[in-house]
Every structure is written in C-alpha cells, then in structure tokens.
Amino acid sequence: MFFRNLGKSGLRVSCLGLGTWVTFGSQISNEMAESVMTVAYDSGVNLFDTAEVYASGRAETTLGNILKKKTWRRSSYVVTTKIYWGGQAETERGLSRKHIIEGLRGSLSRLQLDYVDIVFANRSDINAPMEEIVRAMTFVIDQGMAMYWGTSRWNAVEIMYLTWVGAMTWSPLACGLLTGKYNEGVPESSRAAMKGYAWLKERLYSDEGKKQLTKIKELHLLADRLNCTAAQLAIAWCLRSEGVSSVLLGVSNTEQLLENLGSIRVLAQLTPPLIAEMDALLGNKPRSAKKEARS
C-alpha cells in the first residue's frame, strides 16, 4: 500500500479506500462487513467512506459498530461521510445550514464518533447559496465535528468557487460491469438483481450497455496479457491519475477485497503505450490535459 496527500491538504490517505455503498447494512452481513474491514485495515487501507443516505443510515451504523468493537487507534484511520439526502422531510435534505449541521450530527451519532475526518457535500444544491454552504461547513469544522470538507459530484464551475482541490474516485468497476460478471446475463446474487437497482439492469440491456459489454470483453483480453484481472486493471487505471488521491473499493467479501488490493502491483505495468491502447479501446479519454500515466 502507498499513500497520497488528499487534494492540497496534508492528510495522507491510502491509495485504495473502502467504500460502504450498497454493501454495508444492505447486501452483506455485519459479520462479513467486519471481516472485510479487518482485512482492509490489516492490508494498509486507512480510508473508510460512507454517507448518511447509504442503506438509510444503516451503513453508517454498521461502520460505527465495527469501529467501536475494534481496538484501532482513532488517529490511525480516516472516516469520511456525505451529507445531502438525510430523510423524508424537506428540511432533512439538501445543503442548507440546518441540514449540514443536523445531518452531520446524525451521522456522528450513528458512527459513534466524536468527529469525521472529512464531510462531503454529496451533490450541489441550487436552493442553497454557496456562501451558506461554505459558512456551515466552516462551522462544523470549527466545532470539531469534522477535520476537512469536500464536494462530491459537483461540476467544474461550482468547484471553481472553492479552494479544496483533489479527488477520491468511486465505483471504479462501474457497479461490477468491468468484472465481467454481467457478460452472460444478470446473476441472482449480483447488484443488478437487487431490489431498487432496476436502473442497472435496464442499463445492461440497453443498446449502450451492450456496446459497453463488448468493450469489456476486449478489456479482459488485455488484462490476460498483463496476468491480472479486469477489475485490477480498471482500478490501476484510476490510480495512475495524478489527480486521484484514493480509489474507493466496494466489495461484498474478503476475496473480492484481496483481488482489488492486487491492483497496486498492476500499476507499474501501465506504461504510456498501454494507456494509449486502453484509451483507444474504451474511447472515453478525458478532454483535460495532464493525463500522464504513472510509471
């Protein structure tokens, strides 16, 4: 495991972090969640990400119970959560000062923590003035409820108003598409078969989804050449970017976690010619300039 500064801060985070979206409090048992977290921590992962909306708060509760049970020093790991969708009431969602403060208090209660290391605004809010958002985030930091704050899924124009720069990437395997599990259909135990994820199944059977699956099969052939899995190749592709501080992993068992952690050794194989080959295959090369591969 290696570590990078998170954005322009001095906070050092593991290049691979563990996410809890879909899995904690929902897809996997609490026992499996604890096993996954233990293996991750023992492997050098120090970043654990969640959100108030994940499994209606149960993901935070599960994460908090595990952290309370463990004897890990609080100073040895980083916990991040996200605020926006908190409840059904109009005042329980969005980025008003009221919800940022009350939402984070709710998250801390479920996590059983005095503070989170980073609180993210989980999306932009056209109803909340930027000044109100910044002042509310500054307040929760001044009150010791968070160390840093950041943004999630904000566009470039919105981020221009802020000074926090850097990225944590999520869903590096495109909800499992890149693993190849959907190449021959939708397995019963997969995310696309879960209640509430009909949008993912529809995406798979769409014309665009079929095109993506064809590209994924070619990506698997490229992974075979490198003696790695397509999942490891995809995660390494994310890691090689200079602007990425940490890649969040979403796994449902320890075997998947160990496989994904193996992406670090693949990183050294991503030479400029190989990156160019992947860009040509996928056809999704970002337009922005600095996209040099790490060697």
Q: How is residue 129 written in tokens? A: 């003035």
Sequence-separated (6 or more) residues with CB below 8 Å from residue 275:
237, 240, 291, 293
**259: amino acid identity, one letter:** E
**43: amino acid identity, one letter:** S
- Say how far apart CA 210 and CA 201 lie, in whole Å: 11
Sign of CA pseudo-dihedral 278, 281, 282, 287 = positive
- Say how far apart CA 194 and CA 144 lie, in whole Å: 38
Active site residue 54: yes
Using the structure block, give the residue that is written with the tokens 């985030």.
137
Element (H, E) at 225: helix 207-225
Predicted model pTM: 0.80
Which of 41, 54, 84, 148 is flagged as catalytic?
A: 54
Element (H, E) at 78: strand 78-83
Q: Residue 121: which of 248, 142, 138, 75 has the closest Cα?
A: 138
* pLDDT tens for the chain, residues 1 to 295: 999 999 889 999 999 999 999 999 999 999 999 999 999 999 999 999 999 999 999 999 999 999 999 999 999 999 999 999 999 999 999 999 999 999 999 999 999 999 999 999 999 999 999 889 999 999 999 999 999 999 887 877 676 665 444 777 767 777 777 777 777 677 776 776 777 777 777 877 788 877 888 888 888 899 999 999 999 998 998 898 878 899 999 898 999 999 999 999 999 999 999 999 988 887 777 665 444 444 4
